């Protein structure tokens, strides 16, 4: 538990990806089974308890401390678990803190009534860091800023360092991904495989996630070399990529990042009455028309959407590939064969809440370009080009799939506020709120951009902001209205939540207009006029 608590604290505070990987690898290498597996489960969200309610914890703390001092302390610290972990009187107990395995076993087997006494005993035996980890684990509110994908990458690195790598075999994060959803904590067979002590865990039948095939953005040179006869084209839809897994082993909706989002989409899960693994775009659709991305956002990150929510924002999947038909793995087949298989399968099953992403007929690249430029529907981001002979390969292999986004829209906006970034950018003002002029002469914020500039431009922006600060609000600086940013964005939508009445999709800085006076930046009306 001590190693886990230390890991937790450092992961929470460490911004860098490589540093997080190093911390995780060290944990896997130094903590024995089964505790490392339980730790992994806790970090990836596979293990969470709601055994201890905040009221129980608060009650325990008030028994051990002065209630007035406790209240002042809680006011100061602001987080219950942290307050209790810090204020808990150092015990006269010489016991060791519990192991993670002991915590898990106890919480699973002991009746709720026994919990307060058990928890008090654990807190007595622990220091502040372990108390904090315990309380966060038991209240199901462990947030560490380490994604499941990061943990799997760390597992692959760990394998390379410790076991499989030394025997010449290599295990990638994708390999871990393929077995992951068939495993349960504390993952002892997984660690045995990674350390070359055991076979690859067999996920047969389980509704596991398969790493998706991703596309490269197409460059001018790729486009010039493209042979239209060997490619299929589809629209690139503005939803989120999902993998539908259904069969005797269960039904799952996975995001592109391997998160199991089934619970948020019970309407989709209900429609998975087949045996296949499919690739497609999750959208909100009404009468076959795709709704703006903002509608889909209403459905994301909800643990269990209400019936009303499901009716108001009906989810659908636009299918574009098939990975398994029944138990048959068809990923090695060429795209053209899989597409034919998908069409035949779809015609036969006609699953609810799904349709096929149509192929677009074209003869030349010039024709495609005309199509791409003509597509102005908000639901279309651009085109996908897929080589007809491409197998379905994990990751982002070169030369098979291309994405060709349509040119972004741009506005000339005025920089209003700047905030410092995180990690490597923590000393730079790198997050920019920009605004447009309203008819009454007021500048109103329309969005925030965090990217799009070069390192050199960032340095120049940072200096300009420091020299032109007119107000400070905590970490935010208000600047003089003197710098115009050309902001690129994929789409604009009306929004009642923003003062400006408009929300931009993926805004980023495309150019710094040092030359342009702020008064000549764009008007809000001009932007609003382009919206439906």
Partner 1 sequence: MPHPDTWLCVRPEGLYCQPGDFFIDPIRPVPRAVITHAHSDHARPGHGNVLATPETVALMRTRMGEALGGASAEALAPGESLAVKDVSVRLVPAGHVLGSAQVVMEHAGSRAVVSGDYKRAADPTCAPFEPVRCDVFVTEATFGLPVFTHPPAYREVEKLLESVRLFADRTHVVGAYSLGKAQRVVALLRAAGWDAPIYLHGAHMPLCATYEALGVALGDLRHATVAGAKNLVGQIVLAPPSAIADRWARRLTDPVVALASGWMRVRQRAKAGGIELPLVISDHADWPELLQTIDDVGAPEIWVTHGNEEALMYAATQRGYRARALRLVGYDDSEETAGTAAAQEDAVPEAAV
The set of catalytic residues is 236
Look up tokens 């929470």; give the residue. Answer: 12
Pairing of strands 354-356, 328-329: unpaired
Q: Which residues pair with 251 in a beta bridge?
A: 246
Nearest of 411, 476, 419 to residue 437 by alpha carbon:
411
Minimum CB separation from partner 1 for residue 136, in Å? 11
Tell me which residues touch partner 1 (CB under 8 A).
Answer: 9-10, 12-16, 19, 22-23, 26, 65-66, 68-70, 72-73, 76-79, 82-83, 86-87, 90, 127-128, 132, 420, 422, 424, 426-427, 466, 472, 474-477
Q: Which residues contact 120 (CB under 8 A, 6 or more apart)?
A: 60, 64
The residue (of 308 and 472) whose beta carbon lies closer to partner 1 is: 472
The residue (of 84 and 436) whose beta carbon lies closer to partner 1 is: 84
Minimum CB separation from partner 1 for residue 303, in Å? 25
The residue (of 65 and 493) whose beta carbon lies closer to partner 1 is: 65
CA 178 to chain centroid: 18
The residue (of 162 and 298) whose beta carbon lies closer to partner 1 is: 162
Q: Other CB atoms closer than 10 Å to residue 319's CB: what's the count? A: 21
The residue (of 19 and 93) whose beta carbon lies closer to partner 1 is: 19
Query: In angstroms, what CA-CA distances link 62 with 58, 65, 68, 70, 76?
Result: 6, 5, 9, 7, 16
Minimum CB separation from partner 1 for residue 301, in Å? 22
The residue (of 14 and 510) whose beta carbon lies closer to partner 1 is: 14
Minimum CB separation from partner 1 for residue 73, in Å? 5
C-alpha neighbours within 13 Å on the C-beta side of residue 36: 21
Answer for the pair 405, 217: CB distance below 8 angstroms, yes or no.
yes
Using a 10 angstrom Cβ sphere, with 0-12 exposed, 13-18 middle and 19 or more buried, the burial of residue 343 is middle
Minimum CB separation from partner 1 for residue 430, in Å? 13
CA 32 to chain centroid: 30
Q: How far apart are CA 267 and CA 264, in angstroms?
A: 9
Minimum CB separation from partner 1 for residue 31, in Å? 15
Q: How far apart are CA 336 and CA 258, in angstroms?
A: 26
């Amino acid at each position: 538990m001590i190693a886990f608590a230390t890991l937790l604290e450092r992961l929470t505070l460490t911004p860098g990806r490589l540093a997080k990987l190093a911390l995780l690898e060290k944990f896997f290498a130094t903590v024995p089974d089964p505790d490392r597996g339980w730790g992994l489960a806790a970090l990836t969200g596979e293990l969470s308890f709601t055994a201890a309610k905040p009221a129980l914890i608060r009650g325990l703390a008030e028994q051990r401390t002065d209630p007035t001092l406790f209240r002042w302390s809680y006011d100061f610290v602001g987080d219950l678990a942290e307050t209790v972990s810090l204020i808990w009187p150092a015990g006269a107990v010489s016991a060791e803190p519990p192991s993670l395995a002991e915590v898990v076993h106890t919480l699973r087997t002991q009746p709720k009534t026994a919990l307060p006494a058990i928890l008090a005993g654990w807190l007595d035996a622990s220091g502040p860091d372990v108390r904090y980890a315990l309380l966060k684990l038991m209240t199901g509110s462990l947030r560490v800023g380490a994604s499941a994908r990061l943990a799997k990458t760390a597992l692959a690195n760990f394998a390379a360092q410790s076991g499989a790598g030394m025997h010449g075999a290599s295990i990638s994060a994708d390999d871990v991904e393929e077995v992951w959803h068939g495993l349960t904590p504390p993952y002892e067979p997984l660690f045995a495989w990674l350390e070359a002590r055991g076979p690859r865990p067999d996920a047969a039948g389980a509704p596991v996630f398969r790493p998706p095939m991703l596309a490269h953005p197409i460059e001018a040179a790729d486009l010039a070399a493209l042979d239209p006869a060997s490619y299929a084209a589809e629209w690139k839809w503005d939803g989120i990529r999902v993998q539908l897994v259904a069969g005797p082993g269960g039904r799952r909706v996975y995001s592109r990042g391997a998160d199991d989002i089934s619970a948020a989409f019970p309407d989709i899960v209900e429609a998975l009455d087949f045996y296949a693994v499919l690739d497609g775009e999750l959208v909100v659709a009404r009468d076959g028309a795709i709704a703006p991305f903002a509608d889909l956002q209403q459905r994301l990150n909800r643990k269990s959407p209400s019936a009303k929510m499901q009716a108001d924002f009906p989810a659908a999947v636009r299918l574009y590939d098939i990975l398994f038909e029944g138990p048959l793995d068809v990923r090695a087949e060429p795209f053209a064969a899989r597409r034919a298989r998908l069409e035949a399968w779809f015609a036969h099953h006609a699953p609810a809440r799904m349709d096929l992403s149509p192929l677009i007929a074209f003869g030349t690249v010039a024709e495609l370009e005309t199509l791409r430029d003509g597509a102005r529907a908000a639901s279309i981001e651009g085109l996908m080009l897929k080589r007809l002979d491409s197998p379905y390969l994990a990751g982002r292999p070169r030369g098979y799939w291309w994405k060709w986004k349509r040119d972004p829209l741009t506005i000339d906006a005025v920089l209003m506020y700047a905030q410092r970034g995180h990690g490597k950018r923590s000393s730079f003002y790198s997050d920019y709120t920009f605004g447009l002029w309203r008819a009454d002469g007021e500048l109103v914020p329309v969005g925030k951009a965090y990217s799009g500039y070069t390192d050199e431009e960032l340095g120049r922006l940072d200096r300009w902001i420091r020299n032109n600060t007119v107000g400070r609000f905590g970490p935010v600086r208000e600047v003089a209205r003197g710098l115009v940013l050309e902001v690129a964005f994929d789409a604009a939508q009306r929004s009642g939540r923003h003062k400006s009445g408009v929300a931009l999709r993926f805004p980023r800085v495309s150019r710094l207009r040092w030359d342009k006076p702020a008064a000549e930046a764009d008007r809000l009306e001009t932007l609003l006029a382009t919206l439906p």
